[in-house]
Structure 1
Amino acid sequence: MKLTDTGERVIPEKMKITNGLLLEHIARYHFAANYVHGRVLDFASGSGYGSHIIAKLCKDKVNEVIGIDVDKESVNYAKGTYYHPLTTYLNGDVTDPRLPEELGEFDCILSFETIEHVSEEKKFMANLYNLLKPGGLLILSTPFGKGRGVPCGSPFHVHQLTVNEFKNLFNDYSATSFYFQKGVLIEPADFNTDKHHPLGIAVCRK
């Protein structure tokens, strides 16, 4: 089947290898490959390329990779384009409170560039926490902006969190490490600098 490019949707087969958006998205999954193990959930998996990267790179330490996305067309595209014996693609809403009961618990959850698209943030964050096993890892990224409720200029984003709002998302976790990303470069976050960083990544242990 064909998948139509709609704004921010990343479809590697339809993008140039020099496309910055593509490269930064791929960089996040390669970063996550250092952490994932066991049962992995790719929350808002889009066209499926990221779930496929994790399954291929981490096949010796991953038991299963489930990619879930609200867009049925994207899920069907992932099934047809990124098959791997460890990977399953499902249609679902990341704010659906039934997901923890339906999917069970995971050792690692990835959620890249998702929260800025979600109006029901509390339901989304609750699902992440409830889907994660005790001691499991959440790896979440988002672009920074002017904060909740403030228009950010992107027609695809509800808003973009400030750095402090991002940091405060993870107070329920036992330990959190923060990183900044610019392009493909991902480095430990330095919150004492005035330098602007476009993206943040959190690695959180439940």
Structure 2
Amino acid sequence: MVEVVPCRCCGSSMSIVSTVAVNGYVRWCCSCCGHEHFRSPATAVGSEMYAGDSDYNADLAVAADYRALLQWAHLTATADILLEKRAEPLRVLDVGCFNGFYVRHLRELGLNAFGVDFNASAVAYGQAVYGLEGAISTRELQDLIAAGESFDVVTMFEVVEHLEDFSAVIDEACELLRPGGLLIVSVPNNRMFWRPRLDGPPHHLSRFSPESLRRLARRHCLSVVSLHEQMSLYDFLRNYVGSWFRNEAQSSMRGGSFRHPGLANFARRGLNRCKYLGNLLLTPFNAIAYKFGFRYISQVMIARADVSGRLGSSP
């Protein structure tokens, strides 16, 4: 008898497509929307594992300033956010804000932005270096809901693919949205033409296709405004070269620590500083690749809450 579980994106049945365990995880797939999920009989990855991961915390050392941490997904989302017109500055919550670099970016644009993250050291860094004391914290979404907080926009950049039960977190995010507000979610695109080692367990527990994101939005009573797919040869080259620096051992949540950390951090710092020029020079090639169906590496969904304020998952 084939074991099945409900898909958290569309509600259809997911079945095991690979019995070969990947780092102890079994791969499930929904034939209806293309969502993939990795499950393990062992204890789920806890937030403390990310907070204490040296690879994540090393990001603080390689960024020249907050702008160096902005990615395609942040800039794409910002363009959509700035199209929203309100009498008062938009209230934005960035869930999984890390050190608050995107919060700082939005505040520079005149928005009333806040952020939450469980990584206390990253939050402390942002409060001290970016002047975000009072703007970012380690509060839980349930704490914000209990306090009666509400926002015009809630963003979740590269967050939900890490979660065992992402549907519950999206429910909480929707509860924080004002009627007609925007939920913005970015995740790696399962249509990417080359998959880096980090796009799997325990680092990533889910893989999303554009269709699975659309189904996820509808399941949470959201209307998709737009869905953007990235094609970046620069990011492909950066990740491909970066894979050569990784140890084979799973010593980091991202798929292996760096063999030569000094050299790797030097390269990462340099690549961060030249990424805008690199992407600009490769723009014509990205456009050609996109036309032929190539995608890499991210996708961003912009979805709107019902103006009546209806919230939560649909049956």
TM-score normalised according to structure 1 size: 0.74
Matches within 5 A, 1:1-206: 6-8=54-56, 11=59, 13-15=61-63, 25-34=70-79, 35-36=81-82, 37-56=89-108, 58-59=109-110, 62=111, 64-84=112-132, 88-93=135-140, 96-102=141-147, 104-145=149-190, 152-153=199-200, 155-171=202-218, 172-183=221-232, 194-206=293-305
Deviations along 1:58-114, one digit per CA (max 9) or x if unpaired, are 21xx2x2111001111111111111158x6111034xx5443223511011111100
Q: 1:163 to 1:175 in 2, by over 3 A?
A: closer
Q: Which amino acid aligns with 1:69?
A: D
Structure 1 unaligned spans of 5+? none
Q: 1:119 to 1:9 in 2, by over 3 A?
A: farther
Aligned to 1:83, the other structure's residue is in SS state coil
- Check whether the contact 1:182–1:198 (CA below 8 A) recurs between aligned residues: yes
Cα distance between partner residues in 2 of 1:195 and 1:29: 21
- Check whether the contact 2:224–2:301 (CA below 8 A) recurs between aligned residues: no
Deviations along 1:148-169, one digit per CA (max 9) or x if unpaired, are xxx9435422222233222211
Deviations along 1:105-150, one digit per CA (max 9) or x if unpaired, are 101111110001111212111011111100111221000238xxxx
What is the root-mean-square deviation in Å for CA atoms of aligned residues?
A: 3.3
**Normalized per residue, which structure has more helix?**
2
- Check whether the contact 1:170–1:176 (CA below 8 A) recurs between aligned residues: no
Cα distance between partner residues in 1 of 2:124 and 2:132: 14
Q: Which amino acid aligns with 2:114?
A: I
- Check whether the contact 1:119–1:158 (CA below 8 A) recurs between aligned residues: yes
Cα distance between partner residues in 2 of 1:113 and 1:78: 19
Aligned to 1:125, the other structure's residue is in SS state helix
Aligned to 1:174, the other structure's residue is in SS state strand
- Check whether the contact 2:231–2:297 (CA below 8 A) recurs between aligned residues: yes
Query: How far did residue 10 of structure 1 move?
Result: 7.6
Q: 1:152 to 1:27 in 2, by over 3 A?
A: closer
Q: Which amino acid aligns with 2:175?
A: N
- Check whether the contact 1:26–1:50 (CA below 8 A) recurs between aligned residues: no
- Check whether the contact 1:11–1:47 (CA below 8 A) recurs between aligned residues: no
Query: How far did residue 13 of structure 1 move?
Result: 4.8
Q: How many residues align?
A: 185
Q: Which amino acid aligns with 2:126?
A: A
- Check whether the contact 2:100–2:115 (CA below 8 A) recurs between aligned residues: yes
Cα distance between partner residues in 2 of 1:122 and 1:175: 17
Q: 1:145 to 1:26 in 2, by over 3 A?
A: closer
Structure 2 unaligned spans of 5+? 1-50, 83-88, 192-197, 233-275, 306-315
Report which of the two structures shows the higher radius of gyration computed on alpha carbons: 2
- Check whether the contact 1:145–1:159 (CA below 8 A) recurs between aligned residues: no
Q: Percent identity?
A: 21
Query: How far did residue 202 of structure 1 move?
Result: 0.6
Query: How far did residue 29 of structure 1 move?
Result: 2.5
**Normalized per residue, which structure has more strand?**
1
- Check whether the contact 1:10–1:47 (CA below 8 A) recurs between aligned residues: no
